[in-house]
Amino acid sequence: MEQKFDSKETPNKYQQAFLESKVETNDAVVAAEVEKILKEHIAENDNKEVYQFLLNCVDLTTLSTTDSERSVAAFTKKVNDYWTNYPQYKNVAAICVYSNFAEVVRGALEVSDVNIAVCSAAFPASQAHIETKVVETALAIEDGADEVDIVINMGYYLDEAYEELCDEIAEIKATMGNHHLKVILETGCLKTAENIKRASILSMYSGADFIKTSTGKIYEGATLEAAYVMCQCIKEYYEKHGVMIGFKAAGGIRTTADAVKYYTVVKEVLGEKWLTNQYFRIGASSLANALFQSFTETEVSPF
């Protein structure tokens, strides 16, 4: 899947951006760097303060075929009840649902500091007319969504149709106003560090406010190696342009130990500035209960 440029051709603006990037793309080196970070720093982050912080970074997610207005309203009620029952702790960052349920969450949510996130634009395959993707996103915003998660058009990426891929992201972003756009790279499909770097660059230059690892629906979910490459791209973009892009890990992150590993990578690569739920999220469902149980030392499952 890894793509190469013809050295006889003049690089276009996308190829030039890839060539100018200094982000490490040797997969073995990336794996070694992740291992080194965890070996040196995981212990210092394995504590209740970090567990509480991580809960406040969770996009509490339900993306099921069986979701309904009733089930999504009940899901939202759990977040309301958490706020009532545990006011001493910060809540999750957002509730994440399919785009057609934004209005349901908006009507049921009683907590002001929890955002409404939706998966839109023909999630998870991203296979639809651009007009369909734009309308779906616009309707979700109208219904109350604060944030929108979309998947890059993998067909465009594999065909090296970078102009079309970037135009699509930019067009969806344009319909959202100031609302945050999270662009999902589907790293389990991209596989290599080189591809993950290129998809990160394309997404950030096209208007992504966050770049996100995976849907958790079709391909392998988040990996620490993908997170490392994406965070390095975010760091490089910030150094060049002074713009902070958020990072979201999703797909298969279920345990406190897993979450602490992602926290450690983000902290070591991007630094303290990114340790806020404005710039760091984890998309999950069961993880929220695992984190709560870890910092309260109970078996209670509020979510």
**What digits encode the pLDDT tens for the residues 226-279?**
999 999 999 999 999 999 999 999 999 999 999 999 999 999 999 999 999 999
Give Dmax over CA atoms of the chain in angstroms: 65
55 pairs with which residues across the strands?
Answer: none
Q: Which of 6-10, 61-65, 124-128, 164-168 bottoms out in mean pLDDT, i.e. has the lowest?
A: 6-10
Q: Which of 143, 146, 149, 209 is catalytic?
A: 149
Q: How confident is the model at residue 1 (pLDDT cuts 50, 70, 90)?
A: very low
Segment 80-107 mean pLDDT = 98
- The pTM of the whole model exceeds 0.75: yes
Task: Please give the average per-residue pLDDT across 156-182, as a whole number.
Answer: 97
149 is catalytic: yes
Q: Say yes or no to pLDDT of 5 above 80.
A: no
Catalytic residue among 173, 182, 212, 261: 212
* Chain mean pLDDT for the chain: 95
% pLDDT > 70, the chain: 96
- 212 catalytic residue (yes or no): yes
pLDDT of res. 10 = 54
Catalytic one of 133, 197, 248, 261: 248
pLDDT tens column, 11-55: 689 999 999 999 999 999 999 999 999 999 999 999 999 999 999
Q: What is the pLDDT of residues 95-138, one digit of tens each?
A: 999 999 999 999 999 999 999 999 999 999 999 999 999 999 99
Q: Is 78 a catalytic residue?
A: no
